[in-house]
Structure 1
Amino acid sequence: MFALLQIFAVFALSALARAIPTPTKTSNLFKRTISGAVAANCGEATFTVSEVEAAASAAASLAAIGSQIGKNKYPHQFNNREGMSFLSKQTLPPLISVFLALGFEFLPDCSPPFFEFPIFNSEVYTGGNPGPDRVVIGSLSGADSAFCGVITHTGARGNAFKQCETA
């Protein structure tokens, strides 16, 4: 009788476990809303809107969960080693809708803190050599962010950056 009760208990518990739904699809960590992305020409490399969005989305996803990848820990705050002074939207006259900083113009919907993340053609950075080019994001809101611009070490002095042109 006791053995029959044990078998019944095992069947009852297994029926409950079977009724609990299991996820059949994993969410894509890098699917985030990125506003304002445009194609960029960094001299030696040109990036499509899709490539810019993919890199910016990966940066926003990682920033949202407080995670960083690679030896240089990307995404990380744009270090501004060039000593640029950014003007916030609040201090600019309403008709001026860009951030100006010694040759850098970040898009109007982009506000600090700024984060940089490596950008490549046809792939998203997952660690290793970051290459010379970076996408810059800002205006973080949860996992969403604004595209600020693309910058590169190519053609800049030392380890400095220069802004890539919109393509």
Structure 2
Amino acid sequence: MHFSIVGLLSLVALISAAPANLQARDATNCGGVQYTAAAVQAAANAACQYVESGSHAGSSTYPHRYNNYEGFDFPVDGPYNEFPILKSGRIYSGGMSWGRDKYSVRFRLGGYLLTCLTGSPGPDRVVISDGCDLAGVITHTGASGNNFVACSGTS
């Protein structure tokens, strides 16, 4: 009896230590843009914070509902939310932000050359469930219209 209780307690400890959400374990490629597992996880974590708080990144609508019209076979059940993952490695914050990225505008102000992001999130997205489980990574690159195609590792 003593061994079965110890075994049960060990199992409970193991389950309690397991992460609640799926983790990004592999890098992914979206239309020629390579993302590390850490970058995917960082974007998914940011999306999760917004989903859990019921808020959005800056003045944007992200994260927002992703209806999976393309029929991807995600490893977790929906409903799903999409959130931008940026080529620069930064976390999407919505609206206008300062720095360098693919979607930027440069202008001079008082002799300074400034680069301002336009707020465009680019073509790539992480997809998470309402429970903050990572479902996959998708991109508009190579898709027709406003559709998505899978990045490597998403089916």
- What range is the shorter-chain TM-score in? 0.5 to 0.7
Distance 2:39 2:23 in 1: 13
SS in 2 for 1:64: helix
Q: 1:139 to 1:70 in 2, by over 3 A?
A: closer
Q: 1:139 to 1:79 in 2, by over 3 A?
A: closer
Q: Spell out structure 1 runs of 4+ moving beyond 6 A.
A: none
User: Which residue matches 2:92?
Assistant: 125
Structure-1-length-normalised TM-score: 0.60
Unaligned runs of 5+ in 2: 1-18, 95-118
The answer to whether structure 1 residue 63 and structure 2 residue 88 are counterparts is no
Unaligned runs of 5+ in 1: 1-31, 85-100
Q: For this pair of structures, how many residues does the alignment match? A: 110
The answer to whether structure 1 residue 114 and structure 2 residue 114 are counterparts is no
Q: Percent of pairs identical after alignment? A: 45
User: Which residue matches 1:156?
Assistant: 143
Structure-2-length-normalised TM-score: 0.64
Rg bigger for which structure?
Answer: 1
Q: 1:43 to 1:79 in 2, by over 3 A?
A: same
SS in 1 for 2:83: strand
SS in 1 for 2:73: strand
Q: 1:66 to 1:139 in 2, by over 3 A?
A: closer
